[in-house]
Structure 1
Amino acid sequence: MSTADVPSVMVIGNCQADVYRDLLRSADGVEVTDLRPVYEMTARDVPALQADLARTDVLIVQPVRDDYRDLPLGHRQLAAQLPASATVVLVPVLRYAGLHPYQVLIRPPHDRSLVPPIAPYHDLRAIVAAATGDRDVLDAAPDTTRAHASANESVEALRSREQAHGTLTASDLLAGIPRWHTINHPDRPTLAEVFDRILAELPAGMIDPPPRIGDREPLGATRAPVDPAVERALGLPETGPRDWLVDGVAVPTRQVVDAHLTWYAATPGVVEEGLRRHAARIELLGLM
């Protein structure tokens, strides 16, 4: 047990994990350890991290491969540094492309920090247009079969990751086509339910009363447009948004696409990595 018998909790992961960490910070009777994201850590951070782990009572962590960035930051390696009595809650990284079938993330191997301007997400139609010179593909829209195939692929991919890593289950939350903001920024109801499942894994009575997410959208600062054709194909009401919303400011979709196309032309390797990494989705959506 940590200082003064107050349970110590460490949360490690991406922006989704940040939401869970912030909620835990609002709870009484627990101590939440502050640390940098794993992808920002260097060898200098490891000794302090291991010292913190040695006095941590609960580790809430997303799957990280062993020797990530040539450092002992894999989730198994982190768990091995905990006291024998500690609780580990492994939480899946959530991704869902149901509303945004063409949206992807691309991290070029030569510089994984590269992101396009305005909005840090890529549109496969723009990737294909940049690769082929065919701008007609920018107007592609999925039919019912492809829209459902894209949504189902997200569910199956998450279910596969859950089973492979032994994480909490969250794939069932995608079956109802939740209204996420982007492919990796879940809406409030999804985050709230996953957080409740995390709390259910903690020692009984450790956090009482449990903090609640309220009516805010923790990951809603950037919101991607939803194509009306996608809504129709999935049988959803037309609710949008129709343009990008970046920190509350509307940005026309075509402005974002044009900025990305210009950026691709000046940034070698991104288009090639997008074609390689997302070849299966490009084929599923009939873009090439």
Structure 2
Amino acid sequence: MSTTAQPSVMVIGNCQADVYRDLLRSADGVSVRDVRPVYEMTARDIPDLHADLARTDVLIIQPVRDDYRDLPLGHRQLAARLPASATVVLVPVLRYAGLHPYQVLIRPPHDRSLVPPIAPYHDLRAIVAAATGDQDVLDAAPDPAQARAAARESVEALRTREQAHGTLTASDLLEGTPRWHTINHPDRHTLHEVFRRVLDSLPAGLLDDPPHIGDREPLGATRAPVDPAVERALGLPESGPRDWLVDGISFSGDQVTEAHLAWYATTPGVVEEGLRRHADRIDLLGLR
């Protein structure tokens, strides 16, 4: 450990990692370093980041490939900048499409910051409709086999990533069909359990009084509708929601779809990238 008054912790990752960072920041006994998300960093950030890492006792980080965006920001590259005595906790990026089989994220290579209006998630039915002109596909609903296959695929994909990167295990949490808000915004129960596993990986005695999530939903500002057909297929209570909720404002599925279709018509490259990147999911769900 460093000789500073408190052990220093750095957390690097996406919105899920932000939850872990905020929880640690609320705890007594550790100093949590602020750091920009990796996808926002530029070459100018590297010297200060390296200097901070050299004074960091615990690095909690999600997997990042070497030379991400042509910068030395891979998790292995950053871990190499830590003191020899430092602890590294590698946490998986959580994705779960069980409740939202058609929902995907698309980052067009020419501009990865592009997101559609209202809700920053894409529906594969709208992607296929935009590509083919077939409006009937917008009314598609998964049959029980398709819904169950999409849920299984999420668990298997996360397990594969965990094994490939050597992260903490979280895939077992998906087998219980958790009620997530979107494909990458877990419910508080999932976040609580992953954070507990993070705490278990920290050096003994680092935190005498670990923080708790409590009853709030840290990632619940955006909530996507759940199709009753999916709930029935997965043996879940039909409790919804049935509309989008974005920062306290409700939108119907049709409102979001219409806005996205209009956006695709004026935003080149998004539909093509969606078809390419999510071809297997499109086939699994019988959309072509």
TM bracket (short chain) = over 0.9
For 2:6, the equivalent position in structure 1 comes to 6
In 2, Cα distance between equivalents of 1:31 and 1:247 = 31
How far off is 1:2 after superposition? 4.0
The aligned amino acid for 2:38 is: V
Q: 3-state DSSP class of the match of 2:4?
A: helix
Any residues of structure 2 matched to 1:160-171 within 5 Å, and which? 160-171=160-171
For 1:159, the equivalent position in structure 2 comes to 159
The aligned amino acid for 2:60 is: I
Any residues of structure 2 matched to 1:142-153 within 5 Å, and which? 142-153=142-153
For 2:192, the equivalent position in structure 1 comes to 192
The aligned amino acid for 1:22 is: D
Any residues of structure 2 matched to 1:115-126 within 5 Å, and which? 115-126=115-126
In 1, Cα distance between equivalents of 2:192 and 2:102 = 26
Indicate the percent of aligned positions where both proteins have the same amino acid.
84
Q: 3-state DSSP class of the match of 1:245?
A: strand
For 2:50, the equivalent position in structure 1 comes to 50
Structure 1 residues 164-217: Cα deviation after superposition (integer angstroms, max 9, x where no partner):
000000000000100000000000000000000000000111011110000000
Structure 1 residues 86-119: Cα deviation after superposition (integer angstroms, max 9, x where no partner):
0000000000000000000000011111000000
For 2:134, the equivalent position in structure 1 comes to 134
For 1:256, the equivalent position in structure 2 comes to 256
Normalised TM-score (structure 1) = 0.99
The aligned amino acid for 2:203 is: P
In the alignment, structure 2 segments of 5+ residues that lack a partner are: none
In 2, Cα distance between equivalents of 1:168 and 1:211 = 19
Paired residues of 2:144 and 2:229 also in contact (CA < 8 A): no
Q: 3-state DSSP class of the match of 1:5?
A: coil
In 2, Cα distance between equivalents of 1:11 and 1:233 = 37
How far off is 1:256 after superposition? 0.3
User: Structure 1 stretches (4+) deviating beyond 3 angstroms?
Assistant: 1-5
In the alignment, structure 1 segments of 5+ residues that lack a partner are: none
In 1, Cα distance between equivalents of 2:210 and 2:223 = 28
In 1, Cα distance between equivalents of 2:39 and 2:237 = 38
1:287 lines up with 2:287 in the alignment: yes
1:27 lines up with 2:27 in the alignment: yes
How far off is 1:220 after superposition? 0.1
Q: 3-state DSSP class of the match of 1:4?
A: coil
For 1:90, the equivalent position in structure 2 comes to 90
Q: How many residues align?
A: 288
In 2, Cα distance between equivalents of 1:4 and 1:86 = 14
For 1:59, the equivalent position in structure 2 comes to 59
The aligned amino acid for 1:277 is: R
1:276 lines up with 2:280 in the alignment: no
Normalised TM-score (structure 2) = 0.99
In 2, Cα distance between equivalents of 1:190 and 1:167 = 16
Root-mean-square deviation (CA), in Å? 0.7
